[in-house]
Amino acid sequence: MSETIQLRIPGPTPLPEAVREATGRQMINHRGPEFARILSETVAGVRALLQTTHDVLLLSCSGSGGMEAAVVNLCSPGDEVIAAHAGVFGERFAAIADAYGLTIHHVSAPDGEALDPARIGEAFAAHPRAKTLFLTHNESSTGVTHDLRAIAETAHHHGALIAADCITSTAALNVPLDEWGIDVAVSASQKAWMAPPGLAMVAVSPRAWERTQTAALPRFYFDFAKYREAQAKGQTPATPTLPTLTGLHRALQMLIAEGLPAIIARHRAAAETCRADIGDLAERELRLFADPAHASDTITAVALPEGMDAARLLARLRDEYGVILAGGLGRQAGTIIRIGHLGHVTAADMDAVGAALRAVLETSPPGPLSFAAGQRRGGATSGR
Ligand SMILES: Cc1ncc(COP(=O)(O)O)c(C=O)c1O
């Protein structure tokens, strides 16, 4: 991409120029006809990329708000639920359920590995009162994509609903929500959708709507029914994040024109390039963190050699090459770095990231990455 700065974190992701322009337009009446048109076109576009005919609700909040909405609309006080996780974001879903006092049965896998659908099945068998499963599809903290299709089959086999955080999988990977039977799927505008933060998209299946009728957890701002009712009138229950909506509306025009198969192929190519570039740095002791069989096509986590200072590595990439990557989260803070390749990204962008990484590592003395005294800033920063 043309910008000098390479923002390659797992979101927010860079905005195409046309999307930036759309986010900067004058405010409009959110109870007027133009808003109704933009809202309905945006919902239709999101629905197409989510491969669903179900209701898609646009909530003005970040992705975590969409996850909280899934919990409060599906569950009742005293409910038992299964939370499956292998990283920070899956654990967040469990933490939200915990905040509402639900009884949680955890199924986990080590960081970097994928969840085993059979173990989720065992948890349902052991806890037959649990009728809801919460999990994150693409674990951004480890760069692992779980087998959502098999996990959904398991949940349905046990008569449970499945609510999936698809925040960093949708609009990038193939996630056919209806075909896989995902009851509530949550995404967020600042990820592969090439839009700013501010909107959570939530797809709700007919079975999930049925559950909302009896779900008795307290809810107000996140009440799905309020969104469905308002959207039917071309409105939202409260003032929406208008700049994000106009940006997403514009981004969807670009994404729909590209087409989902091409979007998926582009993300696959960027991911493969990223993984190959990291593989080429094996002599520098960088290692792909995720189990290769489940490596994500939107985020690559890279394990650093013992003693390498992750913060310094990230600072040098930023200051000398304008390449912004993310650090590890939670247990992996300081041990891994994470490269986002979702949204407005191509394989060539990943080669630029790989080249910057190589250059930084080659100008570091062996052992812990450190700044040599008086080290000059590289030319790539000039004019930025
Ligand atoms: C997989 C996943 N789930 C949930 C979230 C939380 O989303 P937000 O920060 O938009 O609340 C993120 C954000 O990085 C994520 O990557």
Cβ of 59 less than 6 Å from ligand 1: no
pLDDT at residue 369, as a whole number: 59
Domains of the chain and CATH, by start: 6-11+260-381 (3.90.1150.10), 17-256 (3.40.640.10)
pTM for this structure? Answer: 0.94
Cβ of 62 less than 6 Å from ligand 1: yes
Place of tokens 């359920």: 97
Give the chain's residues under pLDDT 70.
1-3, 365-384
Cβ of 244 less than 6 Å from ligand 1: no
Residue 299's contacts (CB-CB under 8 Å, 6 or more residues apart) are 10, 138, 140, 143, 168, 338, 339, 340, 341, 342
Cβ of 168 less than 6 Å from ligand 1: yes
pLDDT at residue 365, as a whole number: 64
Q: Give how far the C-alpha of residue 147 lies from the chain's centroid of Cα atoms, to the nearest Å.
A: 15
Interatomic CA distance for residues 227 and 296, integer angstroms: 32
Cβ of 172 less than 6 Å from ligand 1: no
Interatomic CA distance for residues 54 and 28, integer angstroms: 28
pLDDT at residue 374, as a whole number: 34
CB atoms within 10 A of CB 373: 5
Hey, whose CA ends up nearest to atom 16 of ligand 1?
140
CB atoms within 10 A of CB 307: 9
pLDDT at residue 380, as a whole number: 33
pLDDT at residue 381, as a whole number: 30
pLDDT at residue 367, as a whole number: 54
pLDDT at residue 4, as a whole number: 79
Cβ of 154 less than 6 Å from ligand 1: no
pLDDT at residue 376, as a whole number: 34
Tell me, in angstroms, the distance from the centre of ligand 1 to residue 132's CA. Answer: 20
